[in-house]
Amino acid sequence: MNNFNLGFQTQGRLFHQLPAEELYQQALARKEASASRDGALVVLTGPYTGRLPQAKFFVRDAVTEKTIDWGKVNRPVTPEKFNAILDKTRRYLETKELFIQDAAAGADTAHRISLRLVTESAVHALFAHGMFIRTPALSSAQGPDLTILHAPGLKLDPAGDELGCDAFILIHFSKKMILIGGTGYAGEIKKAVFTWMNFILPDQGVLPLHSSANFAPGASETALFFGLSGTGKTTLSADPERVLIGDDEHGWSDQGVFNFEGGCYAKVIRLSAESEPEIYAAIHRRGTILENVVMDSEGNLDLDSEKITENTRAIYPVDFMPHMTVEGRGGHPRHILMLACDAFGVLPPVSRLSPDQAVYHFLSGYTAKVAGTEAGVKAPQATFSACFGGPFMPRPAALYAGLLRDRISRHKAGVWLLNTGWIGGAYGQGKRIPLTYTRAMVKAILSGALDSASYEKDPVFRTEVPKSCPGVPDAILEQKKLWPDPAVYNAAARKLAGMFKQNFEATAHANLTGLENAGPVI
């Protein structure tokens, strides 16, 4: 074990860089997962079925003191506390059989990191194999750029260990190490690596993106799809007429857009073969891992069930998608689409943004939760997450926004706001905009059909709304006319505008000018 420079000797067997099929068999033999009728592995992650923001900490030292945006999201831990948890994690892992999986993040080799996951779990080693860029095993002389010690079975004492939670995600940039324990939710591994990339890449002149990306066959220009969970990033980028780069995490360098990952981590609640055939096919095959999906005794999946959680997930290699690029790279974006699932039903279904409005909405990162998506949510609830990924952006949001503004200007990218949520009323009164219409709007944007359309300015949100769009009834495009009572719409629009304003004022962004008239009018 000393060859891996982990600081401890293992007492159990060590499995280094097993291929996917062997990891699959190990997961079944160790009863970490069950197999569906189609061969996908079905995993229960335990009491935690989503991320734990309250368990995530960064080591505060000379490297991070003045670079991390410290606050409620980015919380500090001392080097001494990190070392204490590191010792506890090492003592725990040294008694286990361990799986060591080497991989990489960053399809652009100029901005790539090598990473090593050390875990007690075969299924999480398989997750790393499918989720990250597959590489040969590192030699004993090669140290990884990042080591992740993963101990899902290790629970802390919330009081005695002073972190306030029995799970932990501790990130130490100086030691090039991440500790994860107390949770089997694989998304913690994925997002910890994403957070790492978001910290290091701005210093390399690269804008990290919480977005999906694709391009037209034979063309170098890329489309980006920003959006929080449930807004449609994965769905809209999986277009059979376009080439998928990736569904969630990218970088925008001087050479273009590149995927951080080698796999997809799709939300699959209520997924259907009719609406999303490519993703549906990908999750019904050997090599996919399904988290917290309900399955009966005969191996049949129930994708509509939220009995375990609303946040059911599928992990599969990106090459399970029929229209994708193995290179994981594309050219500079021509179109940027910002997605919001507006459960208040007031945002226009599609509108064009000025460059300043693009920065404003990037910093706002708006969507809305609806009843049923989280415990305790009984009515539409606005969510704002800077850069469409606030929990994963350790540096000041203004830094990322400045990089975005520069790239929009340099590459003349058009920016659009799409409401993938409700029209004609809020959740419970209106209806969800049909996916076929949203797809038609996306197609019109990417084909250039909306470039020559006639527009009128939305009086509240000040964005430019097209009067017509191929494949979409004109009546769908103007929210106010879809509501039974215009006065009720006006009140709802003013309410949401006020939420935008309140959020933006509460998160003032230094060194950014020109945004005074970019937000909505109350």
Exactly one of 10, 36, 45, 51 is catalytic; which is it? 51
Extract the tokens encoding 258. Answer: 């590149």
Given a contact cutoff of 8 angstroms between Cβ atoms, the answer to whether 381 and 368 are in contact is yes
Exactly one of 96, 129, 134, 233 is catalytic; which is it? 233
What residues contact residue 81 under an 8 Å CB cut-off, 6+ apart? 162, 163
CA distance linking residue 233 with residue 242, whole number of Å: 14
Exactly one of 88, 96, 313, 361 is catalytic; which is it? 313
Exactly one of 56, 111, 172, 210 is catalytic; which is it? 210
Q: How many CA atoms lie within 13 A of 483 on its CB side?
A: 22
234 catalytic residue (yes or no): yes
Extract the tokens encoding 62. Answer: 């000379």
Q: What is the dihedral of CA 448, 453, 456, 458, to 10 degrees?
A: -30
Exactly one of 111, 191, 334, 405 is catalytic; which is it? 191
Exactly one of 247, 248, 342, 356 is catalytic; which is it? 248
User: In terms of Cα–Cα distance, which of 264, 295, 266, 271 is closest to 41?
Assistant: 295
Count of residues in the chain: 522
248 catalytic residue (yes or no): yes
What residues contact residue 139 under an 8 Å CB cut-off, 6+ apart? none
Q: Tokens 């980015």 correspond to what residue?
A: 74
Exactly one of 64, 229, 367, 420 is catalytic; which is it? 229
51 catalytic residue (yes or no): yes
Q: What is the DSSP string of 41-96?
A: EEE--TT--S--GGGEEEE-STTTTTTS--SSSS-EE-HHHHHHHHHHHHHHHTTS
Exactly one of 195, 234, 235, 253 is catalytic; which is it? 234
CA distance linking residue 174 with residue 459, whole number of Å: 50
Extract the tokens encoding 81. Answer: 């506390």
Beta carbons within 10 angstroms of residue 228's beta carbon: 21
190 catalytic residue (yes or no): no
229 catalytic residue (yes or no): yes
Given a contact cutoff of 8 angstroms between Cβ atoms, the answer to whether 39 and 286 are in contact is yes
Which residues are the active-site residues?
51, 191, 210, 229, 233-234, 248, 313
